[in-house]
Amino acid sequence: MTDVHPTIIDIHQDEVLTGEAVALDVQPIGYFLRALGVLIDMLIGVGLLLLFVLLINWLDGLGALPPDVAPILTIAIIVVVTVVVPTAVETTSRGRSLGKLAVGGRIVRSDGGAAGFRHALIRALIGVFELWFTFGAVAALVGAFAPRSQRLGDLMAGTYSERTRTPRLPAAPVDIPPPLTAWAEMADVARLPERLARRLAQFAQSARSMEPSARARVAASLAAEAAEYVSPVPAVEPETLIIGIVALRRRRELRALELESERVAALTGSTPDAPRGFPAR
């Protein structure tokens, strides 16, 4: 009787597991970019506050406002600028304010889904304290120690700022060799160590320019090292195995990028783009 070993999927902190068991790498915005985006939003808020305050003072100077109305309007405007406007902007834009657009970020739920009105309202209410009352000191302190550079409002609302700008990927250098076509449909390639993955990719790109004896020796060494992460191991030449592993990993990375593009498009309501560096399907 054959033993069936369950497949263990290693999900890292900044990955989301889809229904197809593909771990999407959803990178959060870095600390300094996040701080820059918040600063831009706060400067816009300060500009709106000054504009409204000048307008109230002008109307008050003309005598167009009763004496007791100006203080009430000032408080109302502060509430609108610090709570109502941020909540409305993040809700209607699905997590993208002007500051976040500038740094390439988007507010999403901790599970990668679209943030809604409740999340935006909690972030805005907490932001009155951590951003406006403390001039951003509390947000900066919490974000420095939070795992995804989250501020206090994010931790309370269950959100974080996701990176929407991804680096351009190079064109696929190799394809799956014909002898490994059937193997690629059922192969299980575990997460490779970064150093080994780079060596395999470099060999697949530069093998043709290598001296034959050195090429065979390096291929045998790399194939033996990579075989520990492959199941089943096909009975092919070492170089063929290496090319198959590199091409299969790239195919799966492409699929993960397509799923990520579809998820981002679902959040924005736009048409998903083909991952850069790959042709559209």
**In a 3-state reduction of DSSP, which class is residue 159?**
strand
Sign of CA dihedral 78, 81, 83, 84: positive
Contacts with 110 (C-beta within 8 Å, 6 or more apart), sequence order: 158, 159, 160
Contacts with 219 (C-beta within 8 Å, 6 or more apart), sequence order: 203, 207, 237, 238, 239, 242
**pLDDT for 126-141, tens place per residue?**
999 999 999 999 999 9
**pLDDT for 191-249, tens place per residue?**
888 888 888 888 888 888 888 888 889 989 998 998 898 888 888 898 888 888 888 88
Separation CA 141–CA 56 (nearest Å): 35
pLDDT bracket for residue 5 (50, 70, 90): very low
